[in-house]
Amino acid sequence: MEIFWRTIINRTDAWLSVYLYWRNHDGLGKKLKDSTSWIVIAAYNEGSIIGSVVRNAHIRFTNVVVVDDGSRDDTGAQAHQAGAYVISHPINLGQGAALQTGISFALSKGAQVIITFDADGQHDIADAFSMACRLREGHLDVLLGSRFLGKCVGIPIIRRYFLKLAALFTRFTSGVKVTDAHNGLRALTAESAKKIRIRQNRMAHASEFVDQIGHLKLKVAEHPVSITYSAYSLNKGQRLTNSLAIIVDLFIGKIGK
């Protein structure tokens, strides 16, 4: 009996591999590139890594735009050299503002699918590609990456529990069932990108994004993604003490409407 089930599982894995290979390669075995989806990367002082992130993104995507958010190093130049469209903010406005700039630019260039991607190298471009493919099936408006449904390598325990708490808070305030509310890997169709408007310039934009999805009643799902933490990305990441500032920003934002 055990041999029977092992055979079934092995054959299923084999067929799944064949299907994934067929979906991701053309007849000559060359990896397919997505030319109608746009990768949007918000970057601030990422000169040491942005080049490799852009080159990695170009393996699967033709169109990559990097929004240089007033960096003091050569982030813009490195991104341009790596082959990305580069938009440079004259002053530092925040990640939320940079993402909205990139989304607006991608829409002006006729993007059909827009994928936000972090600049610190912790995301896997294969996840972005599979999210774009899944969106093209037409059943969903937005896909949110979730490290807790996928894989999370090197995450400190405190951060893991803090992120789960943040997801609970977002579920409560937005009504959208999420397991990972602060994941920078998101995919949205052009129609939903036109409806969403990120007004929170700083880190509160992640919660605002989910709030707007709930408010606009967009069809949303989560997608398992891999996040690999490195010493570099941990150093650049959000401080846990920023959480209070995020809550205050969200509160002021709601009153100011």
Q: How far is the CB of 159 from another protein (least distance, A)?
A: 29
229 lines the binding site for another protein (CB under 8 A): no
Among 37, 43, 71, 80, binds another protein (CB under 8 A): 80
Dihedral (C-alpha) 189, 190, 191, 194: value to the nearest 10 degrees? 120
157 lines the binding site for another protein (CB under 8 A): no
144 lines the binding site for another protein (CB under 8 A): no
Query: How does strand 186-189 pair with strand 220-228?
Result: unpaired
Long-range contacts: 62-65, Cβ < 8 Å, 24+?
Answer: 62/33, 62/34, 62/35, 63/35, 63/37, 63/38, 63/39, 63/106, 63/109, 63/111, 64/38, 64/39, 65/38, 65/39, 65/40, 65/41, 65/102, 65/105, 65/106
End-to-end CA distance of the chain: 64
Q: How far is the CB of 3 from another protein (least distance, A)?
A: 49
Q: Please count the other Cβ atoms lying within 10 Å of the Cβ belonging to residue 68.
A: 30
Stretch that binds another protein, among 40-48, 101-109, 142-150, 188-196 (CB under 8 A): 101-109
Among 27, 29, 90, 138, binds another protein (CB under 8 A): 90
Q: Where are the alpha helices (DSSP H) in the chain?
A: 2-24, 50-57, 75-81, 95-108, 125-136, 157-174, 190-195, 205-216, 231-236, 242-255
187 lines the binding site for another protein (CB under 8 A): no
42 lines the binding site for another protein (CB under 8 A): no
CB 107 within 8 A of CB 93: no
Q: Which is nearer to another protein, 63 or 146 (CB)?
A: 63
Among 39, 43, 44, 85, binds another protein (CB under 8 A): 85
Both structure tokens of 157? 């325990």
Q: How far is the CB of 44 from another protein (least distance, A)?
A: 14
Q: Which is nearer to another protein, 93 or 131 (CB)?
A: 93
H or E element in which residue 39 lies: strand 34-43
Among 45, 47, 58, 149, binds another protein (CB under 8 A): 58
209 lines the binding site for another protein (CB under 8 A): no
Binding mask 103-132 for another protein (x = CB under 8 A): -xx--x------------------------
Residues in touch with another protein (CB under 8 A): 33, 35, 58, 62, 64-65, 67, 76, 80-81, 83-91, 93, 97, 100-101, 104-105, 108, 199, 201, 252-253, 255-256
